[in-house]
Structure 1
């Protein structure tokens, strides 16, 4: 995979069409690990997780930095994920969101590629201290309809009281147990 193909993946991911995302970019045996916790195994589990996670939620992925290995098998990305809650959402790795709330989280992503599809995706906290920012937001109708990017309030400074600096606060409550067939 090269930079242009990865850009097409990000564009499709941001469209919210997760069936096409999984069919086009995820290997049938893909594994996704977030902050050291395995979230999915297999394309069908990944599709189910993506669809369920994004109910009542708009996600926009922005790639701030990208490095692709010469053979295209390893992709390293510095990513910002902006989540806009259209309703109360409690099932996120970064914690719950209230209706209208916007959260931007930065992370380091590593994608392992085989035959043009991701076989393993790992999301970790970035190596440099970038805060996760939560702020209230008024969601426009166009954002709700996914026809335009969400209207976002001005960026909050690092010292703002709403900035969550501690990763301990990002994942709250126990993660659900998952069993996978062999």
Structure 2
């Protein structure tokens, strides 16, 4: 009799744990501010950076009993764009970069660097795309000065990891 009660309790707890992990976020769940801070200091429920929490099912908000899992998902949002439907110029590129690039560099600055570097290489030089990526990383990191890493405008350089991919869209004949 005691064993059956324990089994029932275990079954109830297991059901609660399994259903809680896939809970749909309701309006009442949002009483606690969802995002605290800005930029690199932003944290989900003042506890964890979003990318750090994607597998931590038991993580709770600091000093509370609120589980963070309902607010994070390991399923990415995917968008597919058919780039073949557009006509591309030989120097059209797609720049993929981590937040280490985008935190300190805007679209216009990236486009300027892309044009500047591509114009300084021969059109058929395959290294020119690598050099664009390298230049974007170097400019986003900045230069080490007395007060830390600084950009050309004396603002703080990126303190985050910086990864950049420059992918030519002009077709295989344009970068072989």
TM-score normalized with structure 1 length: 0.22
**Larger helix proportion, structure 1 or 2?**
2
**Larger strand proportion, structure 1 or 2?**
1
Bigger Rg over Cα? 2
TM-score normalized with structure 2 length: 0.22
